[in-house]
């Protein structure tokens, strides 16, 4: 079976995403578990978690059909210690939300090196992932391929490979191949993908 869907709004609570996905005829969907453009968010309530899981069960959405995306503000490659700490805390919160909802994936943008160079950015991203990932996690974090705008890290398959190679708990890692991003980065996804 092929899974087709779209990113649906979580306005009013994550439990509302399932009905929105069904309304467009999707059998898979993406969502933000909190406002993607704010650092802080209220914790998920037990009622919201129960309602989300119940709606998934009722409508037949399994965890592998749901792809949460973390906040756009998070930058695990930021060279400023305060900004990096803020990003790390937000990333850990995103993982916690996925665990609470019983979701098996968390898609995230690796980060930007902010002028310090790709090697520094990759090193910081790897360090943050090694500190965030633990053996008891049930959520797999997915590095999203990037378009290579500005100082983004992860716009080549080689950069993604270097990040993966540096992570100790590689079984907790995966890749989300964003075809729009890799096409923009120079990979010909229309005629061939090498």
> 10-residue block means of pLDDT along the chain (194 residues)?
94 97 97 92 96 98 97 96 97 98 97 96 98 98 95 96 98 95 90 65
Any residues with CB less than 8 A from the CB of 136 and at least 6 apart, and which?
Answer: none
Report residue 113: phi and psi, to 5°: -85, -10
Q: 66 exposed, middle or buried (CB, 10 Å; 0-12, 13-18, 19+)? A: buried
Alpha-carbon span 174 to 158, nearest angstrom: 14
The 8 Å CB, 24+ separation contacts for 156-164 are: 156/185, 159/110, 159/118, 159/122, 160/110, 162/122, 163/110, 163/122, 163/125, 163/126, 163/129
What pLDDT does residue 190 have? 84
Q: Residue 77: phi, psi to the nearest 5?
A: -110, 10
Closest to 16 (Cα-Cα) out of 67, 60, 51, 66 = 51
3-class SS of residue 42:
coil
Four-point Cα dihedral 83, 95, 39, 108, nearest 10? 70
**Predicted TM-score of the model (pTM):** 0.94
* Residue 193 confidence (pLDDT): 53
- Measured between alpha carbons, how far is 108 from 32 in angstroms, rounded to an integer? 11
Rg (CA), the chain: 17
- As a whole number of angstroms, the distance between CA 70 and CA 142 comes to 10
Residue whose C-alpha is closest to residue 109's, from 54, 57, 171, 175: 175
Instruction: Return the pLDDT at 40.
Output: 87
């Amino acid at each position: 079976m092929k899974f087709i869907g779209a990113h649906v709004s979580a306005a009013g609570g994550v439990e509302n995403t399932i009905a929105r996905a069904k309304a467009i005829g999707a059998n898979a969907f993406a969502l933000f578990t909190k406002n993607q453009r704010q650092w802080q968010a209220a914790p998920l309530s037990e009622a919201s978690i129960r309602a989300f899981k119940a709606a998934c069960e009722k409508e037949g959405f399994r965890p592998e059909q749901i792809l949460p995306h973390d906040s756009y503000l998070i930058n695990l490659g930021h060279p400023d210690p305060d900004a990096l700490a803020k990003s790390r805390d937000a990333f850990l919160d995103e993982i916690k939300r996925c665990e609470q909802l019983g979701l098996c994936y968390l898609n995230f943008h690796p980060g930007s090196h902010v002028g310090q160079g790709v090697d520094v950015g990759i090193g910081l991203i790897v360090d943050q992932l090694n500190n965030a990932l633990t053996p008891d996690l049930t959520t797999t974090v997915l590095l999203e391929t990037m378009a290579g705008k500005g100082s983004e890290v992860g716009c080549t398959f080689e950069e993604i490979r270097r990040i993966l190679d540096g992570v100790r708990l590689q079984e907790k890692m995966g890749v989300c191949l964003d075809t729009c991003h890799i096409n923009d980065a120079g990979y010909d996804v229309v005629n061939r993908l090498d």
